Structure 1
Amino acid sequence: MRNLERLTVETGRVIQRRYLLQRLVQQGQTCAVYQGFDQVLQRTVAIKAAAVEHIPAYRAAIRATAQFAHPNIIGIYDLIVEPDALYIVQEYVDGDDFGTLLQSQLSPYHVVDLGVQVCQALMYASTPVRKVSHGDLTPSAIIRDRRGLVRINNFALPGDAAYFSAWNVIGATGGPVFSDPDLPAGQMSDSRRADDTRAVGLLLYQLLAGRTPDARMVEPSADGRLRFMRNAPAEVCELVARTVIRQHPQYIATPEALHAELKVLAEALEPPPPPISGQLAPAYQAVEDPMARAPQAQFAPARSGSLLSQPLGSGVRSADGEYAARSDTNGRMMTLDASNASTAFDASMSAKLAAARQAAYAPEVPVKRVNMPLVILFGLVLFALFFGIGYYLSTILIH
């Protein structure tokens, strides 16, 4: 750590007579991240400086991911090894880190869309050609650029034990923090794919969790409950619970499965496109979406009261709009805070999502194509037939 602390004050240094360290962007536990400038290609870059003790882990991660090329994954440009540090030159992304996204109070649609994009990156990395798991999908690995594109960093690095241990209290029923610990970091297995999928669920939950407006991070609750903001749609809350709680009967264990369900929600929640500049407003009055009227940051703390046990995924909402979930000691049930509970979901949102699911999963109806040569042949036969009948009748009438 001493070498890493020394590196954090070396702005202005030029590495390998090419990369200028301009300013410190982030100080992590294992590396310092700088904004730099490539003096050869005249472009802004990000430069990670890792201390000597972390060089083996970073070199292994670079070997596993150097060929990655995906719009949701931050690209790697160069690797420089010096006696006292390892420098990783990466694509520079100008955007918002996870803490800024928390403060911006994202709408349910944008939270779901973030999950869709993260799953796309995980699906790309886990293809049979690559077989790479992320393993360290924490808030520090997420950044969203100015166009709304989510970019993922830190593939194939050892997981942050402190972060995942803290969140293991949520729906993990005392299970291990990391699956397959004997495998090298980044090496894919079914259990590690499930870990990455659950990590996506944890990120989505933090974006939907009740918190103060200025919060830049969310801590797991000591009692293991999931508490959502009042404006979080019921279906989104259910999907997050199915992703985070490992003992859920409908537990989602792969990025592909989570991606498919998030896509359905995204299509249902997607806001209408803004009107084109200069275009007249429609003459009719649009029906207002009840979710659009909900306050973006209201959260009512859990009240003490009667607890109602429901099967996981049963979707009970309390009267104040809060969802709270945890697994019981057997890991089979989820206890929902249901003071003055109402079992009715928002009717318009449920109908909207049901229609989206039906459209997404409806079997494709084959289109019957007309055989034009056969139609032409049939027309010619009819023409010849009627011509013959007409000729025969005309000869009879003449004679």
Structure 2
Amino acid sequence: MRNLERLTVETGRVIQRRYLLQRLIQQGQTSAVYQGFDQVLQRTVAVKAAAVEHISIYRAAIRATAQFTHPNIIGIYDLILEPDALYIVQEYVDGDDFGTLLQSQLSPYYVVDLGVQICQALMYAATPSRKICHGDLTPAAIVRDRRGFVRVNNFALPGDVHYFSTWNILGGGPTPFSDPDLPVGQASEGRYADDTRAVGLLLYQLLTSGRSADARTVEPPTDGRLRFMRNTPPEVCEVVARTVIRQHPQNISAAEALHAELKKLADALAPAIPVPAMAQPAPALAYQVAEEPAGRAAQAQFMPVRTGLLSQPLGASPDSTSLSGAGNDFPTRVDANERMVRPEPTTGASFDMSMSSQLAAARQAAYNEGTPAKRVNMPLIIILGLFLFALFFGIGYYLSTLLIH
């Protein structure tokens, strides 16, 4: 640990005459992470410094994950071994860490979408050609970049014993880790289940009630009950509870199953894309544009799933939903001390035209475009013109003869 503490103050140092350590980003128990600069390729990087006593662990993790290429996983560029430490050069992600996401008070849709992306990273690592579990999926492993992509770090590292032991009170079972005798990062069904539950814990921390707006961390409830913010749809509460509570009769223990559940919720909760009121579409296109938001609005009003876990319908008025983390009865209760956060209703002002009028406008436009104009009889016009010319010519000739004589 003394070597690690010394490294945390050595900003300005250049590693291997290439990577300049600019500032400390994160201090962990086994490593320190810096923002650095690659002076050869002229790009910003992240440099993780691990103390000598942890070199073997990090080298094994890098060997297992060096070839990972996925939009939800932070890439690895270089590995440098020096006498005092091991330096891992990684992709630098400019974005928000998990503490900032907590302070942002994300809506249920964005929390669910975050879970979808984390599951995609776990599913990629678990493919038959890789067979790698994460093992240490804590808040420190999550960053969301400026484009909205969730980036997962720290694959194949030993799990944070303090973190998972503390959160084990929420239906975690007798031990926080499965298959402790296997090498770090080696996959097994139990370890895949641990990673899946870790995703549920992250989602719960973003959705839990009773925390202050400026909190960057969340402590587990001492009574082992799950408490959600009031604006959280019951379906979301249920999926999180099924993931976190191992004893749940419908427990979700695989990333693929959790991904499927969260994807359905994300599709149902996705906000409709508004059409600017000033830009009115053509009549033939008005019905097509209005149809999509109407369909999404219908999706957003999804019906609650009744499995015995939740008895509160969508839009009910209790201040919070509480779920037990122990036993198999999973009771619900109302906590009147929690504060309500209501989402803004969708007005739909851009779509005030009724469906029948839209159809009428579209049909009328189609009729006007498809009705041919009346044809003009050109031969008849030519004959009539010649007749008038001859008539006026004869009258003129007659009058001229009269005037001469």
The question of a shared fold, defined as TM-score above 0.5 by the shorter chain, is answered with yes
How does 1:190-201 map onto structure 2 within 5 Å?
Answer: 190-201=189-200
How does 1:180-329 map onto structure 2 within 5 Å?
Answer: 180-210=179-209, 211-275=211-275, 279-280=279-280, 313-316=309-312, 319-328=317-326
Q: Find the aligned partners of 1:280 and 1:108 in 2 and give their Cα distance.
A: 32
How does 1:82-101 map onto structure 2 within 5 Å?
Answer: 82-101=82-101
Amino acid at match of 1:333: D
Segment drifting more, 314-323 vs 180-189: 314-323
The Cα of 1:289 is off from its aligned counterpart by: 7.1
Amino acid at match of 2:24: L
String of CA shifts for 1:147-170, please: whole Å, max 9, x gaps.
000000000000000000000000
The match for 1:41 is 41
The Cα of 1:321 is off from its aligned counterpart by: 3.5
The match for 1:359 is none
String of CA shifts for 1:1-60, please: whole Å, max 9, x gaps.
111110011111100010000111111111100000001111000000010111111011
Amino acid at match of 2:91: E
How does 1:113-132 map onto structure 2 within 5 Å?
Answer: 113-132=113-132
Percent identical: 71
Q: Find the aligned partners of 1:130 and 1:188 in 2 and give their Cα distance.
A: 9
The Cα of 1:279 is off from its aligned counterpart by: 2.7
Contact 2:156 2:186 in 1 (8 A): yes
Q: Find the aligned partners of 2:9 and 2:49 in 1 and give their Cα distance.
A: 12
String of CA shifts for 1:158-209, please: whole Å, max 9, x gaps.
000000000000012x421100000011100001000000000000000001
The Cα of 1:315 is off from its aligned counterpart by: 3.7
The Cα of 1:316 is off from its aligned counterpart by: 3.6
How does 1:124-203 map onto structure 2 within 5 Å?
Answer: 124-172=124-172, 174-203=173-202
1:332 aligns with 2:328: yes
Contact 1:122 1:133 in 2 (8 A): yes
Q: Find the aligned partners of 1:332 and 1:280 in 2 and give their Cα distance.
A: 55
Ranges in structure 2 where 5+ consecutive residues have no aligned partner: 301-305, 337-344, 346-405
Q: Are the structure 2 counterparts of residues 93 and 339 from structure 1 closer, same or farther at C-alpha, using a change threshold of 3 Å?
A: closer
1:26 aligns with 2:26: yes
Contact 2:226 2:325 in 1 (8 A): no
String of CA shifts for 1:325-366, please: whole Å, max 9, x gaps.
1144xx3221221479xxxxxxxx9xxxxxxxxxxxxxxxxx
Would you say how many aligned residue pairs link Structure 1 and Structure 2?
321
Contact 1:64 1:156 in 2 (8 A): yes
Contact 1:319 1:339 in 2 (8 A): no
The match for 2:401 is none
Structure 1 segments of 4+ aligned residues over 4 angstroms from their partners: 280-284, 286-290
Contact 2:310 2:332 in 1 (8 A): no
Q: Find the aligned partners of 1:87 and 1:36 in 2 and give their Cα distance.
A: 11
The match for 1:307 is none
Q: Which has the larger radius of gyration?
A: 2
Q: Normalising by structure 2, what TM-score? A: 0.75
Ranges in structure 1 where 5+ consecutive residues have no aligned partner: 293-309, 341-348, 350-399
Q: Are the structure 2 counterparts of residues 168 and 49 from structure 1 closer, same or farther at C-alpha, using a change threshold of 3 Å?
A: same
Q: Are the structure 2 counterparts of residues 178 and 339 from structure 1 closer, same or farther at C-alpha, using a change threshold of 3 Å?
A: closer
Q: Are the structure 2 counterparts of residues 339 and 70 from structure 1 closer, same or farther at C-alpha, using a change threshold of 3 Å?
A: closer
Q: Are the structure 2 counterparts of residues 278 and 252 from structure 1 closer, same or farther at C-alpha, using a change threshold of 3 Å?
A: same
Amino acid at match of 2:227: R
String of CA shifts for 1:216-235, please: whole Å, max 9, x gaps.
11110000010000100110
String of CA shifts for 1:96-132, please: whole Å, max 9, x gaps.
0000001011111100000000000000000010000
